[in-house]
Amino acid sequence: MDAKTLIVQGKTALGIEFGSTRIKGVLVDYSGNVLASGVYDWENRLENGVWTYALEDAKKGLRSCYGSLRKNVEDKYGVTPSTFGAMGVSAMMHGYIALDKYDKQLAPFQTWRNTNTTQSADKLTELFDFNIPLRWSCAHLYQRILDGESHVKNVASVFTLAAWVHYVLTGRKVIGIGDAAGMFPIDSATHDYDSDMADKFDALMKESGHDLKLREVFPAVLVAGDDAGTLTAEGAALMDETGTLKPGIPLCPPEGDAGTGMTATNSVAPRTGNLSAGTSTFAMIVLERPLKKLHREIDMVTTPSGFPCAMSHANNGTTDLNAWVSVFNEFCGLMGISADMGELYGKLYTHALKGDADCGGLLAYGYYSGENVTFINEGRPLFARMPGSKFNLANFMRVNLYTSLGAVKLGMDILLKDEGVKLDMMMGHGGLFKTPLVMQKILAAAVNSPVTVMSTASEGGAWGIALLAAYLADGKNDGKLEDYLSKRIFKNLTGEAVNPDPEDVAGFEEFTRHYVAGLDVERAAINAMKW
């Protein structure tokens, strides 16, 4: 069938992902071909020391994003979609959305960017003998108790953003296992929250004077392909202001951006890995064996099918890098030059490859917020150099590209060097890979492994959640999720692998030594810069 017929007959899958700066929708056929897309830009806010989004803004963004996609379909095919074979929602992992028994929001939505949970995360890590990162939902919930926040006594539900949007659309309190792994430790054998740890958490709640049961408060865990409910009439009305969209559309389990990134890069089988580069940057490797010991720098999560996966997650990625590009754009305007932002990014990034492999001794930290990998709880973006450093534009851009992977590199070194984790394939995706070859070469140098970027890389997580919806609608006859992706979605997709350049590898290692040594400068800036 042609695309128009597929759309009219509802033999398509819709994915919508709530990213840090953009809500994106992608409509695909069951082979993963993109038929239409839509976007809505939004931004988090720092309010009373908390990084947050208003949930009403999430609803507005959902409606606007879908409206943008619907218009794209109408413009391209002359029809208005009324149904889909399946749809799915994904979003930034982790965080804390607390509701009472009437579904009233009790406290500001705390995003992954918040690092105000050190006390809680340390206590839970000790209790479980399992790393609990600062941004995980269980850490946020327990920190609210430690801080004596009165709303906790009324908590009936705790959600991630994806699980909350899914609940609004379906009335089902469920979550995909990959996103659930950003709430609480997962047992990959049972595909559920770890039972022993959940019992310990419940006991801790009781000791703290709260009758909270984790399995009652947190959403039920589902894996890829499970029935996660259907779009309600209220959900359809929220999404589509024209009233054309019909209820009853099946939804796949809501997933986090890590799970959709793995799906979008076919990195869901052991010994495969991917790096997602955006506002936050994270690298993941699917494991074939448990790690030898606990590492506070490494998150243990899962694929959407439940395979254990080690993640090196950095809170800071491209925010400061984007700010520098905006400064160059402002300079172009001052000189009377009208610069296309896409072209400006491309020229600056490409020019970075002309810089020295070690960035000429320049140093930068794009710490717009705190960074969990380096145990720094506040952010101060910094650029520094020695008097003898080679300060030129190529090195300046190169160091800012390097530092976007700086914290992630430290976590990957633990996995690849200390733990001896095997990695056969590393995939790159996200906006940072739009400029051909640049970040591919830099990532290959950082991990000293070949890196592949496919033509779909810039579609990102929205395409990934659309694929998970397509798997629910029409893919389970192909077998497991990894079989469906390999046999149908990625069968004819190609991407050229870039091997690490030995000189670049050595240069990145030298930069990393500077990066680690300079962390004291970042800490001093936090202490000194309080205005």
Which tokens hold the place of 348? Answer: 């600056």
DSSP string over 429-457: ESGGG-STTHHHHHHHHHHTS-EE--TTG
pLDDT (tens digit per residue) in 158-213:
999 999 999 999 999 999 999 999 999 999 999 999 999 999 999 999 999 999 99
Q: Is pLDDT of 431 > 80?
A: no
Confidence of residue 141 (pLDDT cuts 50, 70, 90): very high
Q: Which of 210-214, 243-247, 280-284, 513-517 has the lowest mean pLDDT?
A: 280-284
Residue written as tokens 């609004």? Answer: 168
Q: Is pLDDT of 468 > 70?
A: yes
Considering all CA atoms of the chain, what is the largest pairwise distance in Å, rounded to the nearest integer?
A: 66
Q: Is pLDDT of 265 > 90?
A: no
Q: Which of 96-100, 214-218, 245-249, 289-293 has the lowest mean pLDDT?
A: 289-293
Element (H, E) at 37: strand 34-41
Element (H, E) at 470: helix 460-470
Phi, psi of 378 (to 5 degrees): -135, 165
Q: Which long-range contacts (CB under 8 A, 24 or more apart) does 283-287 make?
A: 283/311, 283/312, 283/408, 283/411, 283/412, 283/447, 284/258, 284/309, 284/310, 284/311, 284/312, 285/309, 285/310, 285/415, 285/421, 285/423, 286/262, 287/421
Same fold, 3-75+84-255 and 266-453+501-531: yes
Residue written as tokens 């794009």? Answer: 366
Alpha-carbon gap, residue 429 to 261, rounded angstroms: 7
Alpha-carbon gap, residue 144 to 334, rounded angstroms: 48
Residue 458's pLDDT is 60
Alpha-carbon gap, residue 26 to 460, rounded angstroms: 10
Confidence of residue 86 (pLDDT cuts 50, 70, 90): very high
pLDDT (tens digit per residue) in 316-340:
999 999 999 999 999 999 999 999 9
Confidence of residue 11 (pLDDT cuts 50, 70, 90): very high
For residues 149-154, give the mean pLDDT. Answer: 96
- Cα–Cα separations (whole angstroms), residue 264 to 41, 185, 282: 21, 24, 14
Residue 493's pLDDT is 74
Confidence of residue 276 (pLDDT cuts 50, 70, 90): confident
Q: Is pLDDT of 457 > 70?
A: no
Element (H, E) at 283: strand 281-286
For residues 347-356, give the mean pLDDT. Answer: 98
According to DSSP, residue 415 is labeled: I
Confidence of residue 294 (pLDDT cuts 50, 70, 90): very high
- Specify whether the CB–CB gap between 304 and 480 falls below 8 A: no
CA 308 to chain centre: 17
For residues 106-111, give the mean pLDDT. Answer: 96
For residues 35-49, give the mean pLDDT. Answer: 94
Confidence of residue 231 (pLDDT cuts 50, 70, 90): very high
The CATH classification number of 266-453+501-531 equals: 3.30.420.40
- Specify whether the CB–CB gap between 78 and 4 falls below 8 A: yes
Q: Which of 175-189, 257-271, 372-386 has the lowest mean pLDDT?
A: 257-271
Residue 253's pLDDT is 98
- Specify whether the CB–CB gap between 376 and 367 falls below 8 A: yes
CATH architecture of 3-75+84-255: 2-Layer Sandwich (3.30)
pLDDT (tens digit per residue) in 45-61:
999 989 999 999 999 99
Residue 424's pLDDT is 84
Alpha-carbon gap, residue 49 to 66, rounded angstroms: 32
Residue 224's pLDDT is 96
Average pLDDT, rounded, for the chain = 94
Task: Give the domain ranges of the chain.
Answer: 3-75+84-255, 266-453+501-531
Residue 277's pLDDT is 83
